[in-house]
Structure 1
Amino acid sequence: MNASTATRPPAKAPHAHSSAWAADLLRTQIASGELLPGSKLSEQALAQSLGLSRNTLRESFALLDSELIVTRIPNRGVFVASPNAADVREIYAVRRTVEPACLAWGPELDAAALDSIIDTARAALLAGNVAAMADANQAFHRELVRTSGSELLQELMGRVLARMRLVFHAMSDAPDFHSHYVEQNATLVGMLKAGQRAEAAQTLREYLDMAEAELLGHITEHSTPE
């Protein structure tokens, strides 16, 4: 999908902080899977559709480049990033630090919201809808971080989830990757309901270790010349 068709902003960019606004919009579209790894972002088309100057859009690209969500290649343009093994390790280093802490101590825990996400994930699993399972998984981990009550942590998680979505695309030929995490997420919610927050946090750390190892194994296997 190209950038000009993927970008459908709800309104023109506000004059204040418009480069940050555009970066957030593009980050959200990457996190939702609307913009895929390797997609070229047309500066002219995006500037026109977002109502921004090209200089302002370049500021947005610079911000996303600093977050490793896009890659700027001289004389070629700006592309949605394609994460490698080092990116996976960095992502999971952040996730292992932030998410278990939110499980253990987040003051705004909403078990009902997590239950609703689990229901959506189970329906996607029954339907064999891999994309919907990935969406539900993203929503589950976003909700975990929302329990912190910290806007700064939620902003950080938005960046991490955008990069995670790019990693998920590397698993497109392993459709069962998401399926075994549906019930693991449900197990975490059960522990939270039982008041076992510290135990849930430890379980999540182990779960993230397992997911990282699976992703790294897959990337290594597919990057090794035959």
Structure 2
Amino acid sequence: MAVESFSSASVTELVPRQSSRRSHRLFVALQKEIVLGVLPPEKALTELDLAQRFQCSQGTVREALMQLNEEGLVKRLPNRGTHVAPCNADDARALLQLRREVECSHLDRVMARADAALHDDLHDLLNAMRNAARDRDEYLLSVHDRAFHTRLFEAADLPLVAPILTRCLIHNHRYKILNSQPNRALEETAERHVPILGALEARDVAKLHDLLSHHISTIVDFGPDLTDSGTTE
């Protein structure tokens, strides 16, 4: 199976590209399999096997694996090869707390820069989440969900901080998906973003802070409890 046919163009285009088109398609295909658990934690990956599977060069595979390594989804160690990264509760808890700190500490900057384009983009992403949920496409739902939070934070205009949030988001979603019960309420996941939009449109920073903090803390409503006390801030 050629890599071009493995990942749909629409999904590939939604994920920011940092490499050649061919390696980016492979990166997205492997990201999807890691996030959904098709490639489980600690699974060994070899460039030769992946090149044969996706009918591409080992150079293309190497480039995709390097990007996955930067995202923290694989571990590439000298003399030990490449393995899918672990996915444990301690890491997930730390990343969840870090994500909440990043997203909720700069909402005054977000509100000051919020404009019609931001509102339109967030509404479009909400509708995209709803469509993915109705199609039972959990990976596509996670892509749009991550894009929603990334787009909201972009308004803070803190480009050096944004990659930290991006990393937190991918690992939060991976942990949730790998540990959630089957047949999770995907449509409810999408609708959880509606109150956030309402507070943003009302230009209520305090309410937006409370809603977003609660939203992040209770991401585990659909998976294992990662909070220490079961309460939110």
Q: Normalised by the size of structure 1, how large is the TM-score?
A: 0.67
Secondary structure of residue in 2 paired with 1:190 = helix
- Correspondent of 2:69 among 64, 80, 88: 64
User: Which stretch shifts more, 133-142 or 114-123?
Assistant: 133-142
Assess, with a 3 A threshold, how the Cα gap between structure 1 residues 212 and 173 changes in structure 2: closer, same or farther. closer
Aligned to 2:109: 105
Where structure 2 has 5 or more consecutive residues not aligned to the other structure, the ranges are: 8-17, 227-233
Aligned to 1:141: 149
Aligned to 2:28: 29
Q: Per chain length, whose mean CA-contact separation is higher, i.e. which structure has more relative contact order (CA < 8 Å, sep 6+)?
A: 1
Q: Does 1:41 align with 2:54?
A: no
Secondary structure of residue in 2 paired with 1:157 = helix
Q: Does 1:159 align with 2:167?
A: yes
- Correspondent of 1:85 among 62, 67, 89: 89
Q: Report how many aligned residue pairs link the two structures.
A: 204
State the Cα distance separating 1:21 from its structure 2 match.
5.3
State the Cα distance separating 1:178 from its structure 2 match.
3.9
1:81–1:166 CA contact under 8 A, matched in 2: no
Secondary structure of residue in 1 paired with 2:75 = strand
Q: Which amino acid aligns with 1:197?
A: V
Q: Distance in 2 between matches of 1:153 and 1:27?
A: 27
Q: Which amino acid aligns with 1:162?
A: I
Where structure 1 has 5 or more consecutive residues not aligned to the other structure, the ranges are: 8-19, 219-226
Q: Distance in 2 between matches of 1:79 and 1:34?
A: 13
Q: Does 1:192 align with 2:200?
A: yes
- Correspondent of 1:202 among 189, 210, 218: 210
Q: Distance in 1 between matches of 2:103 and 2:94?
A: 14
- Correspondent of 1:123 among 101, 116, 131: 131
2:122–2:151 CA contact under 8 A, matched in 1: yes
State the Cα distance separating 1:216 from its structure 2 match.
3.1
Q: Distance in 2 between matches of 1:69 and 1:27?
A: 14
State the Cα distance separating 1:68 from its structure 2 match.
4.1
Q: Distance in 1 between matches of 2:82 and 2:181?
A: 26
Aligned to 1:10: none
Assess, with a 3 A threshold, how the Cα gap between structure 1 residues 76 and 32 changes in structure 2: closer, same or farther. closer
Q: Which runs of 4+ in 1 moved over 6 A?
A: 3-7
Q: Distance in 2 between matches of 1:32 and 1:185?
A: 24
State the Cα distance separating 1:155 from its structure 2 match.
1.7
State the Cα distance separating 1:77 from its structure 2 match.
2.8
Secondary structure of residue in 2 paired with 1:151 = coil
Cα RMSD after superposing both structures: 4.2
1:118–1:185 CA contact under 8 A, matched in 2: yes
Aligned to 1:170: 178
